Chains A and B, each alone.
With several copies, the nearest count.
Chain A
């Protein structure tokens, strides 16, 4: 073990939850040139109650404007090993499946060029290599690129898109999120590596409204699988659930857990007759009943995606969730997802032209107004885009009768 004294950190070693301190300590043995000082600085932070990093904006690899985040310590004399401690973002395979072979390759690179510490994964979904020096960047990149691994987004770029595991393993997936996001990621390579937007732009895709990749809340453009037709019912399995309902030991209650929790109250259950009826025209596709009875209920067959735009963290104008732009878009693999790409194109064109500096697309929409924004993107107004129509009378009528004409006519 490293001989750096870290009495405070040591209290977080071991335990039942895997310890990050132990990870750093192991790497301090393995790659001491960075990690002894990493430990030292962290222990200092734990004692003086503050971080000790400074941002560095200038690091990168030739030709790319993204993928590297510069960091310097503010106490270089005490911890020269982390005087520079930049991170490298690498695009992971969509869906985050790996072979040990692939992982070992990446780990080998990182042992060679960096601290051996990493995040699997960053919250945007990148592989994060944590801590290296400026003059190692190009060298590392030579090797990664040669092996077919690419750098991820950062800065005012299209960030690394991400997907839930979707059809690879999930019975609820309405769209093939992994195929879609792999395709889109390749489509946005230039925008990902050469930031030219007013600010960052994130794309995430979830296979259904459960939204396991948090697209609705954390991506400027969210693609979320949905269906248009009826929820499919497996009659035999439904019978089993009714049986479960009637057995008090099972703790399963068809009325309280299913019907009464339906947000649109469109499920009628008759436990005596063992019937369940869904008024699908009122169903908001929330997934709840399907989640509760995954064997009996299934998403419909006429599937596509809701397209939402504008989610973001609070800075500056307050947090936003994505707002519905297109209530239903077919996600057509055979057409190379052209409809979606067209929308993306239009969005970027408008935003590059009209977005203000450091203004996320959601803030642009708020500023110009949703109705106006839809018009610019040639999208139809649809009541699914709103919770409710306006309650204020400040309507800007741009259609009205021309008095001269009327008078003349």
Chain B
């Protein structure tokens, strides 16, 4: 059984790898770690919590909610 830290790392890598090409919903990442690591949903949620509380991933909201690497957004750029 993977630890919450490992689950978080797995999620982070997925987001990092596709940054700029694909966006992930929390649900996508949960399904990803379920598939990759056999993590359960509660673990996955704790991992997201750790990632966002540490600011490694940020939530964004565009129609729906996404998890992304922190960046400066277009709307703020003028």
Contact (Cβ within 8 A) A70 B25: no
A86 → chain B closest CB, angstroms = 11
Contact (Cβ within 8 A) B65 A55: no
A132 within 8 A of B: no
Contacting residues, chain B, for A55 (C-beta < 8 A): 62, 75
* Inter-chain residue pair count (beta carbon < 8 A): 86
Q: Mark B45-60, 1 if CB is under 8 A from A, else 0.
A: 1001100110100111
B55 → chain A closest CB, angstroms = 6
B38 within 8 A of A: no
Contacting residues, chain A, for B41 (C-beta < 8 A): 352
Most interface-central of B25, B30, B48 (chain A CB within 10 A) = B25
Task: With CB as the reference atom, state the residue of chain B lying closest to A349.
Answer: B41
Please pick, from A60, A64, A156, the residue contacting B25 in the complex, using a CB distance under 8 A.
A156
Contact (Cβ within 8 A) A357 B25: yes
Contact (Cβ within 8 A) A62 B52: yes
Contact (Cβ within 8 A) A154 B61: yes
A155 within 8 A of B: yes
B48 → chain A closest CB, angstroms = 6
Contact (Cβ within 8 A) A352 B27: yes
Bound state CA distance, A21 and B65, in angstroms? 33
Task: With CB as the reference atom, state the residue of chain B lying closest to A56.
Answer: B75
Contact (Cβ within 8 A) A65 B75: no
Given contacts A156-B25, A194-B45, contact A56 B73 (CB under 8 A): yes
Given contacts A72-B76, A156-B64, contact A65 B52 (CB under 8 A): yes
Most interface-central of B30, B66, B75 (chain A CB within 10 A) = B75
Count, chain B residues at interface, CB 8 A: 28
Count, chain A residues at interface, CB 8 A: 30
A55 → chain B closest CB, angstroms = 6
A116 within 8 A of B: no
Contact (Cβ within 8 A) B45 A196: yes
A222 → chain B closest CB, angstroms = 22
Task: With CB as the reference atom, state the residue of chain B lying closest to A198.
Answer: B27
Given contacts A57-B73, A58-B58, A156-B25, contact A358 B48 (CB under 8 A): no
Task: With CB as the reference atom, state the residue of chain B lying closest to A73.
Answer: B78
Q: Mark A60-81, 1 if CB is under 8 A from B, else 0.
A: 1011111001101000100000
A35 within 8 A of B: no
Bound state CA distance, A352 and B78, in angstroms? 36
A346 within 8 A of B: no
Contacting residues, chain A, for B62 (C-beta < 8 A): 55, 57
B20 within 8 A of A: no
A40 → chain B closest CB, angstroms = 17
Contacting residues, chain A, for B58 (C-beta < 8 A): 58, 60
A191 → chain B closest CB, angstroms = 9
Task: With CB as the reference atom, state the residue of chain A lying closest to B42.
Answer: A190
Contacting residues, chain A, for B63 (C-beta < 8 A): 358
A157 within 8 A of B: yes
A160 within 8 A of B: no
Contacting residues, chain A, for B30 (C-beta < 8 A): 196, 352
Contact (Cβ within 8 A) A155 B53: no
6 contacts between A and B (CB under 8 A): A57-B73, A58-B68, A72-B75, A155-B64, A194-B48, A352-B27
Residues in A lying within 8 Å of B, measured CB to CB: 54-58, 60, 62-66, 69-70, 72, 76, 84, 154-157, 190, 194-199, 352, 357-358
Residues in B lying within 8 Å of A, measured CB to CB: 25-27, 30, 41, 45, 48-49, 52-53, 55, 58-68, 70-71, 73, 75-76, 78
A-B pairs, 4 with minimum CB distance: A65-B59, A155-B65, A195-B65, A156-B65
